[in-house]
């Protein structure tokens, strides 16, 4: 994965305009030329990796209950779009494979894994779509990343950090992590400079206005995760 200057990564797809973590949101990001699309992955009760952020179904679907206690076929029947706007009625919760099919021909998939998943399943899908060294897999859980690294040393891994910690960044480098990602308000110039000395890639999330994107550019960050990929991309790449 090459450093191509600061890019916008569409957060759960273009989630400002379309229902998050759906193919409609991924398509909306691709329509504005976004080069990377982030989405969240959890496991169903029957072990299918699906694209949804919350532990429960209520906020972004018309279903109820925990994702981990619901079978894939039952989740497949849910409406994941009407909550955003009636025109998205019928949008489904995609599987991980469906998300890769929608994104990978045109943009870099950025996969946030929320719960432990069989690493061979993830590696197999990335290999099948020939994106093992292009896709990014990230998590707040360092054990999830370690299991993927043990499965295949070529996979590109980013560590999500809750807060700034020089020790954590050094540990990431020692563990073979390629990038660190932290909330925008946790970054400062000195922190960014240190992280850039140690890591090939340094990203911020919750970057949803041009001013924040400009600040990220000034700090030298190379990626911003945003709900508004067109606005931030235009400012970030200017």
* 107 vs 135: CA distance, rounded Å: 9
Catalytic residue among 45, 53, 72, 124: 53
- Nearest C-alpha neighbor of 52 from the set 114, 120, 122: 114
- The verdict on whether 53 is a catalytic residue reads yes
Burial 164-192, CB ≥16 within 10 A → b, else e: beeebbeebbeeebbbbbbbbeebeeebb
* 126 vs 174: CA distance, rounded Å: 24
User: Do the beta carbons of residue 203 and residue 224 sit within 8 Å?
Assistant: yes
- The verdict on whether 11 is a catalytic residue reads yes
Catalytic residue among 11, 84, 114, 191: 11
- Nearest C-alpha neighbor of 22 from the set 131, 119, 110, 95: 95
Catalytic residue annotation = 11, 53
């Amino acid at each position: 994965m090459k450093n191509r200057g600061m890019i916008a990564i569409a957060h759960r797809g273009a989630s400002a305009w379309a229902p998050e973590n759906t193919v409609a949101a991924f398509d909306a990001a691709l329509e504005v030329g976004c080069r990377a699309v982030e989405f969240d992955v959890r496991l169903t009760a029957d072990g299918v990796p699906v694209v949804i952020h919350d532990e429960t179904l209520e906020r972004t679907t018309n279903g109820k209950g925990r994702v981990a206690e619901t079978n894939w076929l039952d989740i497949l029947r849910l409406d994941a779009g009407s909550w955003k706007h009636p025109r998205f009625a019928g949008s489904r919760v995609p599987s991980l494979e469906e998300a890769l099919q929608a994104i990978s021909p045109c943009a870099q998939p950025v996969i946030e894994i929320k719960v432990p998943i069989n690493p061979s399943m993830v590696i197999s899908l990335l290999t099948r779509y020939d994106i093992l060294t292009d896709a990014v897999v990230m998590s707040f859980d360092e054990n999830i990343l370690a299991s993927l690294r043990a499965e295949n040393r070529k996979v590109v891994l980013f560590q999500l950090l809750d807060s700034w910690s020089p020790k954590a960044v050094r540990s990431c480098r020692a563990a073979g992590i390629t990038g660190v990602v932290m909330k925008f308000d946790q970054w400062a110039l000195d922190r960014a400079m240190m992280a850039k000395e140690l890591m090939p890639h340094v990203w911020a999330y919750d970057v949803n206005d041009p001013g924040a994107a400009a600040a990220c550019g000034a700090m030298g960050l190379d990626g911003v995760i945003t709900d508004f990929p067109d606005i931030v991309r235009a400012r970030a790449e200017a």
